[in-house]
Structure 1
Amino acid sequence: MSVRRSVRSLAAAWSAGIAIVLLGSAACPRLSSQAHAQMPAVQSAPAQASPMPAAAAVAGCTQLIASGNPQYPPYLWRNPDDEQRLVGANAELMQWLAKEIGIPIDTRYVGPWGRVQEEMRAGRIDLIAGAFFTLPRTDYMDYFHPAFRETRSVVWTREDSALLYKRWGDLTGRQGVTVINNSFGIEFDDFARKSLKVTQVASIEQAIQMLQRGRADYMIYEDAPAEAYAARIGAPSIKALTPPVAHEGLYLTLSHRSRCNSPELRGRLARAVYKLSQDKVMNRFVDQGLLLWRRQSAP
């Protein structure tokens, strides 16, 4: 009896040992794999892991559509070879941004500046490649800080004008002109709405022509774009007065109704815009935009 009892005990112990090993393999796979790696075995080498993409796709977002003010050289204007496309410094910025976030960006013409903002509000475009900050615009789009470019908005008048301008109040009683839905900072916009007479027209060319023909005493617009268009139009010259009406930043914005608007995408955009400000690559894009505009404007 003692011999049989000993044999049964030994068998039970052996079974329990096997169970513990199996249980240990399930509960601690890392230990099990290490032990397995130490055992000699004839097997093929493990497959190499495929390299990770620079940025994984955002669910449901395979492409972003960007637009902006199409009369805004050297930042944005319509490509004369394909007028459904926008070119310029901000278009180059969108291509740089696409590589940073891992999502293609199509920078296209969707209409004049007022129409661009309507399309943004409706979510039919995803990004605006350059917008000033105003409180009403935060109702329909997110801003990414910091601004990627600082601009100056100035008062323009005819070369032979006797207009004396040193402060905003000097414009009171005069006829002004600018482009529809343009903003020149919260403070000046509020002052202009209450105290100035400013006609809004559809294009910068129309505004310059009104100024040149004496139908307006002054024009308000950013310095570089107005100078670029004035040089192309020719005819009577115009001049910028000092001091500037406002210094404003150009921001990247994302529509609230964009199908791609998600915490993940907003995080990618925020990181990319911060990197842009640190690397100062926008200066190079602006220089390229100026060269392209001059080349296309040459007779």
Structure 2
Amino acid sequence: MLLRFVLLLLALLPLSSLSEECRRLTASGNSEYPPYLWRAGDDSLEMLGAIPKLMDYVSQQLGIEIVLKYVGPWGRVQEDVAEGEIDLIAGAFYTVPRSYRMDYIRPAFQKTRTAVWVRKAGAFPYQQWSDLQGRSGVTVINNSFGQAFDEYAEHHLNIHEAVRLNQGLNMLLGGRVEYFIYEDNPARAYAAELGILDQIEALDVPIGSEDLFLTISKKSDCNTPELRQKLSDILISAQQQELMAQYLKQGISEWEARTQ
């Protein structure tokens, strides 16, 4: 009976009381990702949106501070995590190359829809990936839309890479490409900010739906089986409470207020 009580007590203790060497986690993510995540301002390291709210919840449950901050473009974030310079990516799709550099915490905290965006005046029939062959497209550099599509695009599609999301949208609007591939919510948010939402549309059939994960660098000093299990348990709890749906609504409202 005493042993069972001790084991239960240890399970309920915050991680910081079990691991003295890991008192703080650093995190970052894609800063052009509203309503999930975006930079507070051009000169700010603060990140806003639905994901920071989720990270606050995770931090509270862990009993460890999680510092979510802007460290640079999306490609830089992935490199920093690969090198262990930051501990966590708050929001990444699964790909095999990324899995060599970071551990994925399951379950995923969000499912996202990736769309084919076109000019309303330049829409074309689209039902499957092969319908994009022979057409010019664009997406944002260092982005992945799932292992299967990434491999298909590499071998069969002509997709340019824009440095920033708004640049990709402007390339589409200006007729330099025929389609723009990006996730539904972030593309819609930026199109609204640019005032072009009435000129473009997402085709009915998506590229696909991908899971969005919290990941931890394989080189992080804090990466232990104990931490990964606790993070997983916390995400399960958040899922059961449908917290991400609440945070996403708040993120949408904050982004819309920002652009009014």
State the distance in 2 between where 1:245 and 1:126 align. Answer: 30
Secondary structure of residue in 2 paired with 1:84: coil
Q: What's the counterpart of residue 202 of structure 2?
A: 240
Answer yes or no: is the 8 Å Cα contact 1:58–1:265 preserved in 2: no
State the distance in 1 between where 2:229 and 2:14 align. Answer: 15
Secondary structure of residue in 2 paired with 1:160: helix
Name which of 213, 228, 240 aligns with 1:251. 213
1:139 counterpart = 2:97: no
Normalised TM-score (structure 2): 0.91
State the distance in 2 between where 1:147 and 1:182 align. Answer: 18
1:192 counterpart = 2:153: yes
Secondary structure of residue in 2 paired with 1:111: coil
1:161 counterpart = 2:122: yes
State the distance in 2 between where 1:82 and 1:114 align. Answer: 19
Structure 2 gap ranges (5+) = 1-11
State the distance in 2 between where 1:101 and 1:162 align. Answer: 48
Pairs within 5 Å for 1:255-266: 255-266=217-228
**Cα deviation per residue 1:115-160 (whole Å; 9 max; x = unaligned)?**
1101110111111111111111110100011111111001001111
Secondary structure of residue in 2 paired with 1:164: coil
- Residue 81 of structure 1 and its aligned partner are, at CA, apart by 8.3
Larger Rg: 1
Answer yes or no: is the 8 Å Cα contact 1:57–1:103 preserved in 2: no
Could you tell me which amino acid in structure 1 is paired with residue 25 of structure 2?
Answer: L
State the distance in 2 between where 1:216 and 1:243 align. Answer: 19
Q: Name the CA shift for 1:295/1:156 in 2 (closer, same or farther; >3 Å).
A: same
Q: Name the CA shift for 1:106/1:82 in 2 (closer, same or farther; >3 Å).
A: farther
1:78 counterpart = 2:39: yes
Moved more, 274-283 or 289-298: 274-283
- Residue 185 of structure 1 and its aligned partner are, at CA, apart by 1.3
Could you tell me which amino acid in structure 2 is paired with residue 145 of structure 1?
Answer: R
State the distance in 2 between where 1:114 and 1:57 align. Answer: 34
State the distance in 2 between where 1:295 and 1:234 align. Answer: 15
Pairs within 5 Å for 1:203-282: 203-235=164-196, 237-282=199-244
Secondary structure of residue in 2 paired with 1:250: strand
State the distance in 2 between where 1:175 and 1:81 align. Answer: 31
State the distance in 2 between where 1:223 and 1:119 align. Answer: 27
State the distance in 1 between where 2:217 and 2:233 align. Answer: 18
Structure 1 gap ranges (5+) = 1-51
1:173 counterpart = 2:123: no
- Residue 80 of structure 1 and its aligned partner are, at CA, apart by 2.7
Pairs within 5 Å for 1:67-146: 67-80=28-41, 83-146=44-107
Secondary structure of residue in 2 paired with 1:242: coil
State the distance in 1 between where 2:75 and 2:250 align. Answer: 26
Answer yes or no: is the 8 Å Cα contact 1:70–1:112 preserved in 2: yes
Higher relative contact order (CA 8 A, sep 6+): 2
Q: What's the counterpart of residue 297 of structure 1?
A: 259
Secondary structure of residue in 2 paired with 1:74: coil
State the Cα RMSD in Å.
Answer: 1.5
Pairs within 5 Å for 1:22-101: 54-55=14-15, 56=17, 58-80=19-41, 83-101=44-62
Q: Name the CA shift for 1:81/1:201 in 2 (closer, same or farther; >3 Å).
A: closer
**Cα deviation per residue 1:22-75 (whole Å; 9 max; x = unaligned)?**
xxxxxxxxxxxxxxxxxxxxxxxxxxxxxx964415232121111111000000
- Residue 179 of structure 1 and its aligned partner are, at CA, apart by 0.6
Normalised TM-score (structure 1): 0.80
Secondary structure of residue in 2 paired with 1:80: coil
Q: What's the counterpart of residue 13 of structure 1?
A: none
Could you tell me which amino acid in structure 2 is paired with residue 156 of structure 1?
Answer: W
Q: What's the counterpart of residue 4 of structure 1?
A: none
